[in-house]
Amino acid sequence: MAGLTDASGSARSDDGGPRPLPAVRDDLVALTGYHSPQVDVSVRLNTNESPFPPPEGWLREFQAELADVDFNRYPDRQAGRLRSALAEAHQVAPSQVFCANGSNEVLQCLLLAYGGPGRSAALFEPTYTMHGQIARTTGTAVAAGRRTDDFRLDLGEVSRVLGEAKPVLTFLCSPNNPTGMAEPPATVDAVLALAPGLVVVDEAYGQFARSTALDLVRSGAASTDRVVVVRTFSKTWSMAGVRLGYLVASPEVVAACELVALPYHLDAVKQLAGRLALRFGDQMERRISVLTEERGRIASALAGLPVETWPSEANFLLFRPVARDAGAVWSGLVARSVLVRDCSTWPGLTGCLRVTVGLPGENDRFLEALSEVLR
Ligand SMILES: *Cc1c(COP(=O)(O)O)cnc(C)c1O
């Protein structure tokens, strides 16, 4: 009989040979996964994390409260205390907050709930590559529009893409990774007016920007119930290792995400870590000012080098070496133990590299290394 397990327990194919592994889903074959090479260097400026560890006060409170976690019990499935703390921080109701393991999992839940076969999501490149990647893994078609040459949204293009694709989800990223520019509130409003479905504003770097789409959600005005703001503890909150992200949206969107999230997906330790972090908002603000100042310093230094740069409202800067191969510049930096992100193969980013703002000493090392490489 074909394909049955024999008495020894091993699986055999029809001809008696070992049975081959099944093929992965046809629609996943072309995907390559998301890779940020983790090279062993002393200055790591490639993944936009905070260069600061979490505040010492946070660590003390976290360690003290860890003793009270009921480790033998499943965690609070509603993440009630964490959601309430986030709701208070953003002046919304707890029913408007959904948390998951990093904002990438938040995005995945949105796509599982609203995307899938026969549905589409729109995005405008260059932008965060995970939006398209996660969409594809959930079987959601991706309608990719283009930004202008200086990486701004062109509302004519937005209107064309949304009109053709009628996407259930439209992704914006503000400030946009990897270009650094934030979308002005008027642009988000205009996209909302054009979008047939949800407008998801990924604000992973929102704390650095002058405006936030949270104001739209809080306004409660008609049509703003289609706005979803996604945030993370991975960047400004110095907690990339914890894997915690959330969205703020209408209660219906939160309920939809709860339909697809696995039971007890948010562990008790993470819920505690995030809830306590919110007590240290002042320290986070101070770090943001330090990083913003450093960003200005890097931007002025880059202005004196043979590179093209763009204004950033985030904790990173995109730059394009003039008349130099980006890969060679990236390798030259690695040879000097400085790691930046090579974005040169991403759509619309030919020749571009992205540097994360680090500690002052790290930024000095980067600037010295870059001047040497470009000399
Ligand atoms: C870094 C980043 C995230 C963060 O993802 P997490 O899963 O929360 O670590 C999300 N969106 C954008 C645009 C990012 O750059």
pLDDT in tens, 287-340: 999 999 999 999 999 999 999 999 999 999 999 999 899 999 999 999 999 999
231: helix, strand or coil: strand
Neighbours of 32 (CB within 10 A): 6
The protein residue with its alpha carbon nearest to ligand 1, atom 3, reads: 204
Beta-bridge mates of residue 44: 339
Q: What is the DSSP string of 316-342?
A: EEEEEETTS-HHHHHHHHHHTTEE-EE
Contact 339, 306 (CB under 8 A): no
Spacing, Cα 34 to ligand 1 middle (Å): 12
Helix (H) or strand (E) holding 189: helix 185-194
Helix axis angle for 129-137 and 103-114, nearest 10°, is 50
Sign of CA dihedral 194, 197, 203, 206: positive
The protein residue with its alpha carbon nearest to ligand 1, atom 11, reads: 204
**What contacts 24+ positions apart, CB below 8 Å, involve 254-263?**
254/95, 254/96, 254/97, 254/98, 256/110, 256/113, 256/114, 257/98, 257/100, 257/106, 257/109, 257/110, 257/113, 258/98, 259/113, 260/109, 260/112, 260/113, 261/98, 261/100, 261/109, 263/77
Burial of 76 (0-12, 13-18, 19+ CB in 10 A): middle
Which residues, at least 6 apart from 159, have a Cβ–Cβ distance to it below 8 Å?
194
Tokens of 50: 């905070």
Q: CA-to-CA distance for 13 and 50, rounded, in angstroms?
A: 52
Q: CA-to-CA distance for 291 and 312, rounded, in angstroms?
A: 12
- Predicted local distance difference test score (pLDDT) of residue 281: 95
Residue to mutate (ligand 1; options 34, 99, 104; most atoms within 8 A of CB):
104
Q: CA-to-CA distance for 201 and 188, rounded, in angstroms?
A: 8
**Which residues, given as ranges, of the chain have pLDDT below 50?**
1-3, 6
Q: Which atom of ligand 1 is nearest to the CA of 234?
A: 9
List residues near ligand 1 (CB under 6 A): 48, 102-104, 128, 173, 177, 202, 204, 232, 234-235, 240, 245
Q: CA-to-CA distance for 240 and 245, rounded, in angstroms?
A: 10
Q: Which atom of ligand 1 is nearest to the CA of 176?
A: 13
* Domains of the chain with CATH codes: 43-53+282-374 (3.90.1150.10), 75-279 (3.40.640.10)
